[in-house]
Amino acid sequence: MFSWSTHAGARARRVGAAFLVAAIAALLAACGSGTQDKSDNGSSNGGGGGPKVTLTLKSITDAKVAWEPLIAAYKRVAPNVTIDASYAPTDQLQTALRAQLGTGNAPDLFVDWPGNGSAMSVQQLAPSGLIADISDQGWTKQVPDGVKPLLGANGKTYMWSPGATPIGIIYNKQVFKQVGIAEEPKTWSELLADAQKIKAAGKIPFAVGNQTPWVTQLLPYAIAPSTAFAVDPNLAQDMLDGEKSFTNSDWHTVYDRYIELYKRGLFNKSPNGTTYEQTQQLLGSGKAAMVVQVIAAMPPFLSAAKNKDDIGTFPFPAADSADALKIPAGVDAGIAASAKGKHLAEAKKFIEWLGRPENMASFSKATYSIPLVGADPAKTDPLLKPFAPFMASNKTVPFMDQQWPNAKVQPAHFAGVQDLVAGKTDVGALLKKLDEAYQQK
Amino acid sequence: METTHARTELIGKAAARPARRRRARQVGSPVLWFAAPAMAIYALIVLYPSLAGAYYAFTDWSGIGSAKWIGLENFKTLFRDEQSFGSLVNTLKLTAFIVVVQNAIGLALALAVHTRIKSRNVLRVLFFAPAVLSPVVIAFLWKYMLNPEPDAGLNAMLGFLGLGFLQQNWLGDPSVALWAIGLTVVWQFAGFSMVIFLAALQGIPRELEEAAAIDGAGRFQRLHRIVLPLIAPAMTINLTLSTIGGLKLFDQVFAITNGGPGYSTETLSTLIYKQAFVFGAYGYSTAVALVLTLLVAGLALLQVRYLQGREVTY
């Protein structure tokens, strides 16, 4: 029926083989052409002040609105440099970038997180030699001393960040008005009294979306500066030095106050079953009065409100007296350059340009943060103004995870707070779990 | 004794000779040579990465930099660490729930639409429809349905039907959340099980059931004695697929609860993801993945062997 020894068969095989080879060659050429195009783009196209370069940049979706005008502006400054930017949610980027760094395929510029505490934070990456040292750039000299260590490791700077953003209360002014609260609370007892008033009026005092893991940390972070860090302002370093721990410090007050709010019925019915997105709806619709949030997360809350002017902010009054109040303010996610990137010099130049006060201001305005360099109080967004005096007078504490020694404490914190609310654990057991995670490598 | 031994050896050698010759013929066989390129590509693309990946299970690799050999340390951690062991238990619980409930509902639906009711074709499509959607889409749909508020989603439906006492904090209560996820999986894939059962039901000769009915067998007896034994191959397929699906479950858990509240819905798959991509513990993550692979392969193999033994043909 079919013989391999016939001439026709042999010819057919030869023709088939020739087609196969041609197809594979075409396929390889097609696969290769993308890379080739890209490298051609990067090295030979266009005019400008130097050889054409394409820098790849990967950042978080929330920052797209801030990057786009700056990238367009940089094209005017350096016409020979094209920045090929792409954006993705935080989780996806943390996944992809670490894998790319591991295999030597990282983009020239990529999002990086300050301090320690996550697998993509600067102090986790710097020791590997995969991100470039930018300590010699002029703008780094103007970064406040309290913040500078968070942008690098071992006294060197490895990342750029546009500014710092506080955690505070985003509230619905209409609900406050309906309930009869004329002025925002300034102390813990005033906060409790106002929250009771809101509850008595049939509204939810605090919308808490603990089903979204990162939201679980915000309330403890809001309470800690005026409690645990008021007792020991050097607590973060003392913990790193092994002199203090979660158990052996005033951290218990943080969770005692957290659970007090919950047990008084001041949260929505099921915090663990409610998402971050649902808290936006609860606040915007006026069902809830307040949300404790990072102020940089403002845009969706404004979108969910019937009227943007109904939304206001004020610092979370966790202290017993207004003068003693301190607030959490964290350095924003920024950008680092791949030390093994093909265009490292150009990438560093772009970062140096980003360090100019006007560029810091442009980025910060879009992300509701206060610039690290050259902040102008007159230009501060009204929603950030209640926090500006605290930042100016150094009454801030960095987000706690930025000073934790590994990427394991934060997820243990997320799960611990959910368990605390679910009644599966108590404050003592939670602190013990956090200490266990803290001790891990 | 000695003679017997020598004879056995001779018989053995005689038997081994043709076998060796057969093997030699096979090595020289054109069939093998033609298969060789495909096998080489398979080895390069599938076998080598899998085995190379397994190596990292015995290291402390962090995803960047070099990996240090640490022996069985990762495996010890898996069984010692409360979160990891809990995720193994959750995986097994969820798998058991999915296998039993999904197939029971799938079989019930198949029996229901294997009748002469007019709407049977529409019903078959409706029941099967969720199976063609992305699990992530289903997860987001159910995330809304499982809203804890009494006036939203499933709770609102239960309230409307006068079943308010069944309203739950579906995803916020650690004792309910795992089963709520199981429910979404069953909702999506019961129709898939139904299709497989239905194909088997349609293959049963009508005369067998008719003969049994004439012999006086009731509906339940016919189901028990005729139908179920004859659809045993479909049962094998369904139980095996749902077991593998349950053990590997990731999308729904990740999109609905991300393992929370606490670690109450953490499964081995979400643990693998978090250890690798959130904590940067690639070595440990690979160890968990290896255990999951062995678990899936072992359970599936045992299940298939047992279930195939129960299959009958008339």
Domain of residue A365, CATH code: 3.40.190.10
Are A146 and A226 in the same domain?
no
Domain presence at residue A24: no
Q: Between chains, do A273 and B274 touch, taking CB under 8 Å as contact? A: no
Please report the pLDDT score of residue B314 as a whole number.
60
C-beta separation of A360 from A163 below 8 A: yes
Please report the pLDDT score of residue A334 as a whole number.
94
ipTM of the complex: 0.71
What is the C-alpha separation between A110 and A91, in angstroms, rounded?
A: 14
Domain presence at residue A16: no
C-alpha separations of A238 from A241, A249, A311, A321, B270 in Å: 5, 10, 38, 25, 34
C-alpha separations of B61 from A129, B65, B74, B273, B284 in Å: 16, 8, 11, 15, 8
C-beta separation of A85 from A67 below 8 A: yes
Half-sphere exposure of B113 (CA within 13 A, CB side): 24
C-beta separation of A38 from A54 below 8 A: yes
Residue of A nearest to B149 (CA): A269
Domain presence at residue A21: no
Using a CB-CB distance cutoff of 8 angstroms, which residues of chain A are in contact with residue B264? 422, 424
pTM above 0.90, yes or no: no
Domain presence at residue A429: yes
Q: Between chains, do A424 and B171 touch, taking CB under 8 Å as contact? A: no
Average pLDDT of A365-384?
86
Please report the pLDDT score of residue A40 as a whole number.
37
- Judged by average pLDDT, the poorest of A80-89, A386-395, B225-234 is A386-395
Q: Between chains, do A273 and B260 touch, taking CB under 8 Å as contact? A: no
Please report the pLDDT score of residue A337 as a whole number.
96
Are A134 and A158 in the same domain?
yes
Are A61 and A151 in the same domain?
yes
Which residue range(s) make up the domain with A259? 166-330+389-439
Using a CB-CB distance cutoff of 8 angstroms, which residues of chain B are in contact with residue A287? none
Write out pLDDT tens, residues A314-349. Answer: 999 999 999 999 999 989 999 999 999 999 999 999
C-beta separation of A292 from A168 below 8 A: yes
Are A274 and A312 in the same domain?
yes
Are A275 and A143 in the same domain?
no
Number of H helices, E strands in chain A: 17, 13
Q: Between chains, do A421 and B261 touch, taking CB under 8 Å as contact? A: yes
* 3-class secondary-structure state, position A160: strand
Q: Which residues of B touch A (CB under 8 A)?
A: 30, 63-65, 83, 143, 146-149, 169-174, 257-264, 274, 277-280
Q: Which residues of chain B have pLDDT under 70?
A: 1-28, 313-314
DSSP letter at A166?
E
Domain presence at residue A11: no
Domain presence at residue A115: yes
Residue of A nearest to B66 (CA): A102
Count Cβ–Cβ pairs < 8 Å, chain A vs chain B: 96
Q: Between chains, do B263 and A274 touch, taking CB under 8 Å as contact? A: no
What is the C-alpha separation between A154 and A147, in angstroms, rounded?
A: 14
Domain presence at residue A153: yes
Question: How many other C-beta atoms can be found within 10 angstroms of the C-beta atom of residue B98?
Answer: 23
Q: Which residue has the higher pLDDT, A50 or A439?
A: A439
Are A119 and A212 in the same domain?
no
Question: A296: pLDDT confidence band, cut at 50, 70 and 90?
Answer: confident
What is the sign of the dihedral through the CA atoms of A220, A222, A224 and A227?
A: negative
pLDDT at residue A27 above 90? Answer: no
What's the number of domains chain A is made of?
Answer: 2
User: How close is the nearest chain B Cα to the Cα of A272, in Å?
Assistant: 4
Question: A353: pLDDT confidence band, cut at 50, 70 and 90?
Answer: very high
Among B30, B260, B263, the residue with its CB nearest the CB of A211 is B260
Write out pLDDT tens, residues B206-244. Answer: 888 889 889 988 888 999 888 999 999 999 999 999 999
Domain presence at residue A154: yes
Are A210 and A303 in the same domain?
yes
Are A304 and A416 in the same domain?
yes
Please report the pLDDT score of residue A391 as a whole number.
81
Chain A stretch 171-210, residues whose beta carbon is closer than 8 A to a beta carbon of chain B: 210
Please report the pLDDT score of residue B20 as a whole number.
56
Using a CB-CB distance cutoff of 8 angstroms, which residues of chain B are in contact with residue A128? 64-65
User: How close is the nearest chain B Cα to the Cα of A72, in Å?
Assistant: 32
Q: What are phi and psi of A59, to 5 degrees?
A: -140, 180
DSSP letter at A267?
B
Count of residues making up chain B: 314
Among B261, B277, B280, the residue with its CB nearest the CB of A422 is B261
